[in-house]
Structure 1
């Protein structure tokens, strides 16, 4: 799993690096061209509406500045893309005299009448014109308002690159610039002739004199272990630097760690559910063993303790990180307020402790400290704001918070920080008073701070990724040490278990183990002593078994010999009695007596032969032969000459080859067929079947079936015991001999019997495959 995680992470990392470079290159091309088709379209619409505003400006001939400015700003704010991506500035000028009218702190301090002719014409209409300033990434719009005397509205729109500390920009929903959806994921800077034109995302140097790639091409440069930048040299001379996270092998490690954790959880859950449901095939061996081995339990215990300790430590670290992230915005805002207070006091001192130009005052503070700044009068009314759009769009009220204002008026607070809300966006707002040298309040400054959710998520994601990476590596190291340690500790127990499993009634070697005077050494010593006692008990058991076997054999031999000796003794005593009484037997009596003695002598000879056959079953002499032929040969021997019995032979088309002793198998079949004949009672039409069939893929089955008297249920357990017979004659050694032969041939013999209906004996033997036959 770990190897799979690493390979997958490397492939994903390679793909992401390739995709990231392609995305940076496309963004660099788009940023290098100041022309924006979306903004030009909205500028054209804005110019048309301003030029056709006679109905909306009715009564403005008397220069109702409030109506004029409100109407113009309303039209600007209706152009959603333009008002969000560009910073609008406004001037009203009489074309005849060049006199600016209706001034405001938010008006541009540049004289656009002078810059307007220097621009690049983009749209020329009789009532409005649009110019572009490529070096400033700015659009200029001049529209003739339908008033008498004529009045020109000059509007400038400069790219609104968000400052790092801009809070109110976070509260405004921005359409992506030129539809570059992921532009905020990168920092970028634009240069022309080595001079910085604009930048966003981080602080760039004002001059850039590095070696450039050829015009129209780009190069990727590794600036540090964490960041790389793509430098694009546009054909128009603009140089774009797009900075993002650096690629490389090390970025794949956190991803591999996360993949490893996910795979580990998935495999663990799969094994857990399979332990209860058993839905996976057993051939996969994908389950938790039942029961768990001692080694596995120890390893799981140690790994569980390590994992729980890691989780507890990770949880504590996460809580600390979250607590710190809550305190950090307050500390950051307090530090920013101290810097703004110091800079504002210097500006007030320079202006003679009078409030300077509100718009310029706010813009200077905002640019220096890269944050939004609001200026309020002593009554809490807004005078100027670095981000005026949130007030023009009625997102925020143009007054300071009443509770904050009362803190200064009633309680004389020097600094006040509290939570405010713009719609569903909470943010921190810090206020401080602007005082003259004699302590008179000239106004208030408001500095907002917004902990961006994307920044918090990015920080938390980076933190958790680092934690997971470190903990996964520690878990792998600790787990490996635990597994190796317990494998070493439990190996003696495994060796001992293997030795115990190999213990048999034979010579067992003692388990070697150094005398380390520990628990395992004591266990091994006791095991060796147990083996020694077992050997002694084995010898006594074998001796007892041999004596018992000889006693049983002597009893059976004695019984079988005494049976024919008794009638022989009676016959001889009768002849002797006749001779003693003076009445010698005649020739007929003598012949009858001799004939009876010969029969009993033959019976003794048969008994001796049977015991000799049972005792002298030689070791098999295996050979490869066709079992079908042997079964057919034995069947033909018995099938003829028994008119009262019907014989049936069932042989399959397939030929079954066995590697066995032909003659020993013949003896078994002869005995089984002979027993089947003798088991049929007189007066019943006998039926005997000999059948050959395949039992399993590698075994063949011979069966002998009869319709004889069957075997009683109470005697079926001792049928293969020597001296068992269901017949009135014989020693009961035939089936015992058959079982002994079949076992020597690595086969099996068993039976099915119903008393009064018949018996089926089965002989199972290993089968030789055709491929093995060809090799032989």
Structure 2
């Protein structure tokens, strides 16, 4: 029963007596030990399951098996700490157990040596009286019943005093008396003295000999010493078998291992917590740097990372901040270079476009001047022709100026809510009045309210329809198909022509400013269309097939709930 922290075993002895055996409870230690064992078993099972699952998935392929040892930083730190903990546990355990065994054997040998020497002296005194009654023949015989019983009694007295087992052999190595006779009666041990011990003591004349003996698989220490008479002649051998040596050693090792496992389980948990904190700190730092790197954009100001600690991560952060500064400087230089290049290209294009109408204007005026100087009769008619030419070229200059002005102000839109269908209908009706153009218009039922610049939207559609018509002018019949529909809350309009299509080598330049497939024009039309669509949060693309025609698509988000 349990009584005041003790486990008690009650036994009813004879004559009304009771025997009580009490042992102090160690619930806390047992609980900790159980937890440590379960924790170690849990880790072992998890490790085996993880490795086994990985091997099953990879099917033992060498290339994929290499991934087993490719850890991220977090896993590397965890694995290192786990390995150090387990390795320390194994090394400390092996070293300490080896030291335990060495110290245990050494301590037992010292204790047994002292005990057997004292016992030898005592037995010599007790045996002197018995030997005095016998004829000295250097060999005691066990056949003498009276001597054997008297010797066994004295051996038992000495054994009880020193609390050890004793065997007594004669000079020939034959057992004469033992405190554990049943071992020999059961023939578990021979009645002859251990031959190695007998050889060392009788032949090599050692003063004592200690070595390990076995009963089956049971191992124990055994010490032998010669028993001499007053003249120094050996007439017997005394032996102490320490039968409890292995059991005590196993008990001490078990106790130590239990303590070591408990301690290492605690250290392992502590190391795991420390590893978790360290890896979180390191990975969070790398995560911060990673997020900042993802946010790097040449078009905006990139923030530097603030890091106060002067560690390895601080060095990395410092280099990152330097990179951000250099990147910002490079971005400014690149933007400046792009602006200057864009303006140079724009100036070149403007000069080229203006030069085209100026040349016929100059030639016409020079021709008129020569006619006037020569008093030509058709000066009046010639003046009328020159005037018409000048008006045409001035109109072209006006169109050029308008295109460049619109391209320069493409981002200055004035968005508003309107129904795109009204503009599409008006443009379709406008072009249907031309007998040479056949426009097919299809519209899915729905409300096409969008939020964009209405004027720019109309200009964009006009430009796309105009391009479609111009691309099919070489055909006898110009066929234009316009399809308006709703896809994923987006208004999509497609404009298809039956022209010659766009050559493969020109397709990637189609939305580039100043690029045109026609012999005249600024090449800003599709670039302006793209800018108008993007200002309305839409997109534009095309599909083309040579000798069959092209289809341009635009998509613009509809106002939510068609409101």
Range class of TM-score, shorter chain: 0.5 to 0.7
Q: 1:702 to 1:347 in 2, by over 3 A?
A: farther
User: Pairwise mapping of residues 10-29 of structure 1 onto structure 2 (< 5 A)?
Assistant: none
Q: Are the aligned partners of 1:271 and 1:288 in contact in 2 as well (CA < 8 Å)? A: no
Is the aligned partner of 1:408 residue 2:408?
A: no
Counterpart of 1:16?
A: none
Local SS of the residue matching 2:246? coil
For residues 323-472 of structure 1, the aligned pairs below 5 Å read 323-326=99-102, 328-343=104-119, 345-346=121-122, 349=125, 353-354=129-130, 357=150, 371-435=164-228, 441-449=235-243, 450-452=245-247, 454-455=250-251, 458-459=254-255, 461-462=257-258, 464-465=260-261, 468-469=264-265, 472=268
Does residue 464 of structure 2 align to residue 675 of structure 1? no
Partner of 2:145: none
* Change in 2 beyond 3 A, CA 1:332/1:656: farther
**What TM-score do you get using the length of structure 2 for normalisation?**
0.67
Q: CA 1:745 to 1:365, structure 2 compared with 1: closer, same or farther past 3 Å?
A: farther
What CA deviation, in whole Å up to 9, does each residue of 1:249-280 have, x standing for no partner?
75478558847976997899799999985999
User: In structure 2, how many angstroms separate the alpha carbons of the residues matched to 1:501 and 1:603?
Assistant: 47
2:514 maps to 723
Provide the C-alpha distance between the structure 2 equivalents of 1:422 and 1:666, rounded to a whole number of angstroms.
110
Counterpart residue number, 2:134:
none
Aligned counterpart, 1:20: none
Taking structure 1 as the reference length, the TM-score comes to 0.52
Instruction: State which of 70, 78, 91 in structure 2 corresponds to 1:315.
Output: 91
How many angstroms does 1:549 deviate by? 3.5
CA contact (8 A) 1:230 1:242 kept: yes
Q: In the alignment, is the contact (CA less than 8 A) between 2:213 and 2:220 conserved in 1? A: yes
1:561-589 Cα offsets, whole Å, 9 max, x none, are 343344445555556655653524677x7
1:711 paired residue among 502, 511, 515: 502
Cα offset, 1:447, TM superposition: 1.1
Cα distance in 2 between the residues matched to 1:288 and 1:658? 55
| Alignment partner of 1:608 is 2:401 | yes
**TM-superposed deviation, 1:685:** 6.6
Name the CA distance, whole Å, in 2 between partners of 1:767 and 1:365. Answer: 111
Q: Flag the 1:761–1:384 CA change in 2: closer, same or farther, 3 A.
A: farther
Q: Deviations over 1:285-342 (max 9, x none)?
A: x9845xx6xxx89x959x9699769947963773364154145224314413532543
Q: Secondary structure at the match of 1:555?
A: helix
Q: Distance in 1 between matches of 2:197 and 2:175?
A: 14
Distance 2:344 2:9 in 1: 107
5+ long unaligned stretches in structure 1 = 1-217, 223-228, 281-285
Cα distance, 1:255–1:626 mapped onto 2, change above 3 Å: farther
Distance 1:481 1:566, change over 3 A: closer
Equivalences for 1:190-209 in 2 at 5 Å? none
Quote how far apart the aligned CAs of 1:424 are. Answer: 3.9
CA distance in 2, matches of 1:659, 1:387: 110
Confirm or deny: 8 A CA contact 1:373 1:385 kept in the other structure.
yes
Displacement, 1:593? 5.9
CA distance in 2, matches of 1:365, 1:625: 121
Query: In structure 2, the residue corresponding to 1:431 is in which secondary structure?
Result: strand
Distance in 2, matches of 1:458 and 1:656, equals 85
Does the 8 Å CA contact 2:112/2:223 hold for their aligned counterparts? no
Alpha-carbon distance, 1:736 to partner: 0.9
Matches within 5 A, 1:109-120: none
Q: Does structure 2 retain, via aligned residues, the 8 Å contact 1:434–1:445?
A: no
Counterparts in 2 of 1:496 and 1:323: CA distance versus 1, 3 Å: closer
- CA 1:666–1:430 in structure 2 vs 1: closer, same or farther (change >3 Å)? farther
How far residue 733 of structure 1 moved from its aligned partner, in angstroms, is 0.9
Larger helix fraction of residues = 2
Aligned counterpart in structure 2 of residue 241 of structure 1, from 22, 34, 38: 22
In the alignment, what sits opposite 2:8? 231
Are 2:524 and 1:733 aligned? Answer: yes
Provide the aligned C-alpha RMSD in A. 5.9
In 1, Cα distance between the equivalents of 2:405 and 2:429?
A: 25
- Change over 3 Å in CA distance of 1:674–1:327 after alignment to 2: same
Residues 619-654 of structure 1 show CA distances to partners (whole Å, capped at 9, x for unaligned) of 456678899x68986996689568765747586x9x
Match of 1:203 in 2: none
Task: State the partner residue of 1:583.
Answer: 377
Equivalent in 557, 573, 582 of residue 350 of structure 2 = 557
Secondary structure at 1:676 match in 2: helix
2:138 counterpart residue number? none
Tell me the secondary structure at the aligned position of residue 351 of structure 2: helix
Alpha-carbon contact 2:210-2:224 (below 8 Å) kept: yes
Residues paired across the two proteins, number: 527
Conservation of the 8 A alpha-carbon contact between 1:634 and 1:666: no
Question: Contact 1:219/1:231 (CA < 8 Å) preserved in 2?
Answer: yes
1:164-179 → structure 2 map (5 Å cutoff): none
Query: 1:394 offset after TM fit, Å?
Result: 3.6
Report which stretch shifted further, 457-466 or 733-742.
457-466
**Is this contact kept in 1: 2:442–2:482, CA < 8 A?**
yes
Other structure's SS at 1:230 match: strand
For the 8 Å contact 1:699–1:764, the answer to whether it is kept is: yes
Q: What do the CA deviations read for 1:538-557 (whole angstroms, capped 9, x no partner)?
A: 66665554454444333333
In the alignment, is the contact (CA less than 8 A) between 1:307 and 1:475 conserved in 2?
no
